[in-house]
Amino acid sequence: MLTSIRLIVFFEDPFWVGVFEKNENNLMSACRIVFGSEPKDYEVYDLVLKKFYDLKFSAATIDEEIKLAKINPKRFQREIKKQVKDVGIGTKAQLAMKSQQEANKVEKKKKSKEEKEREKERKFQLRQEKKKQKHRGH
C-alpha cells in the first residue's frame, strides 16, 4: 500500500490557501484549508502535526497517471488546447474539491428542504390547535 501526501500553498485572492492531496493505491482525495494571511513555516508544520487527522478529505477518485509516448509537438499542442477548451484548467485536486463541494451543496439543500417541511407542519399543527381552542367554549 503506497500512500503519498502533498501540500500546496498558494495565494487565491484575497486569502492564502493550502490544498492537501492524498494518494492511496491510485485513489486521490483532496482537502482545502484557508489560512488567511500568508502562513509561516511553523504554522504549516503545526497544522500538519496537530490538525491533520481532523481534516475532511473529498471522496476518493481514481488517479490515472498519463504516460506520454513520443508525439509530434504540434499534435501534442493541439490535443492540449482541445482538452483545455473542453474541460477548463484545473488540477485533479481542484476537480476533486469541486465535486465534494457540489455533493455538500446537494446534501445541504436536502436538509434545508426537510427543515422547511418540518416547520410548515409545525405551523399547521399550531393553527389546528388554535381552531380547536376557539370552538371549545361554545
11-51 pLDDT, tens digit each = 877 888 888 888 887 788 888 888 878 888 888 888 888 88
61-105 pLDDT, tens digit each = 775 554 445 778 898 888 878 877 765 556 777 777 888 888 899
CA pair distance 8, 32, nearest whole angstrom = 10
Q: Which domain holds residue 131?
A: 3-136
pLDDT, average across residues 99-114: 92
Structural domain tally of the chain?
A: 1
CA pair distance 32, 57, nearest whole angstrom = 8
Cα distances from 38 to residues 7, 15, 44, 52, 84, in angstroms, run: 15, 8, 10, 19, 30
First to last CA, the chain: 78
**In this structure, how many other beta carbons lie within 10 angstroms of the beta carbon of residue 29?**
21
Task: Please give the backbone phi and psi of residue 119, each rounded to the nearest 5 degrees, phi first.
Answer: -65, -40
